[in-house]
């Protein structure tokens, strides 16, 4: 499964962002996932596993390592923050391999964000949404589009500050093949700092 997204905050996150972007060790989110190419449905748990350091643009930076279970193509994610910006990368135990998402806080309608280097992302809307614990939270709709390596991509996600990723729909199309992958949050538990 191809999707990887931002969900959660720890001591490696800049002051003030921890309320916006949960990233504390022990936090976890469980998603119902569907992949149209394989026609598989599964449940995926994403958890903030540990604090670490990773090299980014020639500098060693504080990061948190997130793990996905069952292991998917991108089964390790890293979250690195600088100022008001949160970057989510896929990687392995030793290095960052691909930039997944960028969040710039506070989220605002019309704000352009970056995802993969060849995708253009923008915060398009805001609305109150019911989350799995039964409460209502303000969520932001983020849309990404672009062409990478002869593949057309489109992504739509809902992100709730203080909770994380609520849902994502990912479409990709290349040489006669199209694929849709969806993630929907079904439960979550946020750890305290």
CATH number at residue 150: 2.40.360
**Residue 121 within a domain:** yes
pLDDT band at 16 (very low <50, low <70, confident <90, very high): low
Partners of 82 in the beta sheet? 85
**Residue 4 within a domain:** no
Q: How far apart are CA 168 and CA 155, in angstroms?
A: 7
Angle at 127 between CA 139 and CA 193, to 5 degrees: 25
CB within 8 Å of 172: residues ≥ 6 apart: 2, 151, 152, 153, 154, 178, 179
Query: Is pLDDT at 115 greater than 70 in this prediction?
Result: no
pLDDT band at 93 (very low <50, low <70, confident <90, very high): confident
**Residue 181 within a domain:** yes
pTM score, whole prediction:
0.84
- Return the pLDDT at 11: 41
- Structural domain count of the chain: 1
Q: How far apart are CA 153 and CA 178, in angstroms?
A: 10
């Amino acid at each position: 499964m191809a999707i990887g997204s931002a969900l959660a905050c720890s001591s490696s996150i800049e002051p003030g962002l921890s309320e916006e972007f949960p990233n504390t060790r022990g936090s976890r989110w469980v998603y119902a996932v569907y992949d149209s190419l394989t026609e598989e449905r599964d449940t995926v748990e994403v958890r903030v596993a540990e604090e670490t350091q990773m090299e980014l643009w020639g500098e060693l930076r504080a990061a948190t390592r997130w793990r996905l279970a069952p292991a998917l193509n991108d089964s390790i994610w890293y979250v690195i923050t600088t100022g008001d910006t949160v970057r989510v990368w896929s990687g392995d135990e030793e290095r960052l391999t691909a930039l997944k998402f960028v969040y710039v806080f506070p989220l605002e309608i019309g704000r352009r964000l970056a995802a993969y280097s060849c995708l253009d992302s923008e915060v398009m809307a805001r609305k109150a949404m019911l989350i799995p614990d039964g409460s209502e939270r303000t969520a932001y709709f983020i849309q990404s589009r672009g062409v990478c390596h002869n593949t057309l991509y489109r992504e739509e996600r809902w992100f709730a500050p203080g909770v994380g990723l609520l849902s994502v729909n990912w479409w990709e199309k290349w040489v006669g093949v199209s694929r849709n992958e969806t993630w929907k949050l079904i439960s979550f538990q946020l750890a305290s700092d």
